[in-house]
């Protein structure tokens, strides 16, 4: 994959792309605090597609939101559509991992005329919360946001400790962690620090209720293939994750042995689960 940058209304989007212009167009959305390098291991296995993997706003080498602004899934939806507009892609397929699959779910449900297919890896829809948790969640988010002003970023003397931190945090092998870290660090005085915007670590102020998440998933009308890792993640356990996938009007579910970043750690297996879905 090779680098690219695009100007969108919010600022500069950086990313990685591969494939041939004119092949089926696939927009790949990475997970939370990851970046475009998340798709480097998978890209060679996807066949003849034009793959574009942006660093989502606040991640990797892309722009950060202006001071005082908050990251939201509504904003992420428009960021994805802005990238597609800058590419002059009227329609496209979405390939998302984790948070990226959640964003892709919202784009597919909210702008169905532009999304041809959806591949959702390790997430579908959104993380819900109970209606009676609304005020408590809002208070937690406000406190966290105000406290962030005094937080100091960790500085690494060299990238090695950052690689070890990602390996420990995400149960990643060294090669996968290094891909993410090399794109996710920036040089500062005294060494390196994460390039991602610290505001991304804040809790979401308002979440959908379980009923709203179900309606969102049921509103994804394009052909969809959901790929889950086995064992399941605590945030989307069985049988809930399979029940949610069954809400898709045109959905298929595939379970692949592996961890949460299975598209990086077991790319050939994930590509086999995708099969010819991206081009059929």
Active site residues: 98
Q: Is 15 exposed, middle or buried (0-12, 13-18, 19+ CB in 10 A)?
A: buried
With CA atoms as reference, report the closest residue to 174 among 186, 161, 184.
161
Q: Report yes or no: 241 and 214 within 8 Å, Cβ to Cβ.
A: no
CA 252 vs. chain centroid, Å, equals 20
Residue found under tokens 């960021």? 79
CB 261 within 8 A of CB 172: yes
Contacting residues for 62 by C-beta, under 8 A, at least 6 apart: 11, 12, 13, 14, 15, 54, 55, 56
Burial class, 141, CB count within 10 angstroms (exposed 0-12 / middle 13-18 / buried 19+): middle
- Number of neighbouring beta carbons within 10 Å of residue 36: 30
Alpha helices (H) in the chain, listed in sequence order: 73-87, 99-110, 134-147, 159-170, 174-184, 210-218, 240-245, 262-265, 267-274
């Amino acid at each position: 994959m090779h680098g690219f940058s695009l100007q969108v209304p919010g600022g500069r989007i950086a990313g990685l792309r591969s494939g041939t212009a004119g092949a089926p167009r696939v927009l790949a959305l990475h997970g939370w605090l990851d970046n475009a390098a998340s798709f480097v291991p998978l890209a060679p296995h996807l066949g003849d597609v034009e793959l574009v993997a942006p660093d989502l706003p606040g991640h990797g080498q892309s722009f950060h939101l202006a001071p005082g602004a908050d990251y939201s899934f509504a904003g992420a939806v428009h960021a994805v559509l802005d990238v597609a507009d800058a590419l002059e892609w009227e329609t496209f397929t979405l390939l998302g991992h984790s948070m990226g699959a959640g964003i892709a779910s919202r784009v597919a449900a909210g702008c169905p005329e532009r999304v041809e297919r959806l591949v959702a890896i390790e997430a579908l829809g959104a993380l819900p919360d109970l209606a009676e948790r609304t005020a408590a969640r809002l208070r937690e988010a406000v406190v966290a946001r105000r406290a962030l002003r005094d937080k100091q970023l960790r500085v690494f003397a060299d990238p090695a400790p950052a690689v070890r931190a990602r390996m420990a945090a995400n149960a990643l092998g060294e090669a996968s962690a290094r891909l993410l870290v090399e794109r996710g660090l920036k040089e500062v005085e005294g060494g390196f620090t994460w390039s991602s915007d610290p505001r991304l670590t804040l809790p979401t102020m308002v979440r959908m209720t379980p009923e709203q998440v179900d309606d969102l998933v049921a509103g994804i009308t394009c052909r969809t293939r959901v790929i889950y890792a086995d064992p399941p993640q605590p945030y989307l356990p069985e049988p809930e994750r399979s029940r949610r996938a069954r809400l898709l009007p045109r959905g298929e579910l595939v379970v692949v042995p592996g961890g949460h970043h299975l598209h990086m750690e077991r790319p050939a297996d994930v590509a086999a689960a995708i099969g010819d879905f991206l081009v059929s």
